[in-house]
Amino acid sequence: MERLVNDLKNSAEYTEEQLEIIGGKTHVLLQRSNQIQDSLSSIDIQVENVAQTTKDAKDHMDVLSKHSEAVYKHSKEIAHSQSELQEGQAKMNENLKEGMSMLHDAYTNLGQEVDNVRNEAVEIEKQIGRVGDTMSSKMETLQNSANDIENMAGKSLDKQKQLLDGQSNALKGLQLLTQFQSEALEESR
């Protein structure tokens, strides 16, 4: 009986240690979750940067459009002079090239930002998967420990019942022996 109690006590201490270990690992998991949250915040900032880059590209397009309109008006004004028309056309071509270059750069930056966001999203998804796997493994270990304790407690109760049954049988035997002795004393008298 004492051995069973000690076994139960040791199992409880072991389970408590495991729970403390799991608690520590849960703290680590929370830190990783905070790191993931920081990464998500960083992605938000990058998305804002992408939006700003897109807005800048639109502004450049607006500037290019207004510039083209100005060149067109200027070309109409200098239509009477071939030399002035050629000068205006050259200026328009230069501005168009500059605008196209700016637009190309803006779209290149936008593509790079989108790639960065996509790569970070993939990495975050992997981290979430690893955290989920770790939590699942720890929960399975905890469940197994709880099952072991439940099984040991059940065995202990069975042995206690057997002990009580044995004690009951011994008491019955003692009562029979006492009765037999009483009868023997009565007969000897």
pLDDT at 84: 65
**Residue 145: which H helix or E strand, with range?**
helix 82-188
pLDDT at 80: 67
| Calpha distance 189→186 (Å, rounded) | 5
pLDDT at 95: 85
- For the entire predicted model, the pTM comes to 0.31
pLDDT at 78: 62
Residue 46 is encoded by which pair of tokens? 């990058």
Angle at 117 between CA 114 and CA 120, to 5 degrees: 150
pLDDT at 83: 72
> What is the CATH architecture of 2-174?
Orthogonal Bundle (1.10)
DSSP 74-117: HHHHTTT-HHHHHHHHHHHHHHHHHHHHHHHHHHHHHHHHHHHH
pLDDT at 189: 58
Q: How many CB atoms lie within 10 A of CB 88?
A: 21
- The pLDDT tens digits along the chain (189 residues) read 667 677 777 777 778 788 788 778 888 888 888 888 888 888 888 888 888 888 887 888 888 788 878 877 776 676 666 776 577 678 888 888 888 888 888 888 888 888 888 888 888 888 878 877 877 787 787 787 767 777 776 777 777 788 888 788 878 877 887 777 777 777 665
Residue 53 is encoded by which pair of tokens? 């880059």
The domain limits of the chain are 2-174
DSSP 1-59: -HHHHHHHHHHHHHHHHHHHHHHHHHHHHHHHHHHHHHHHHHHHHHHHHHHHHHHHHHH
pLDDT at 117: 82
Q: How many CB atoms lie within 10 A of CB 128?
A: 13
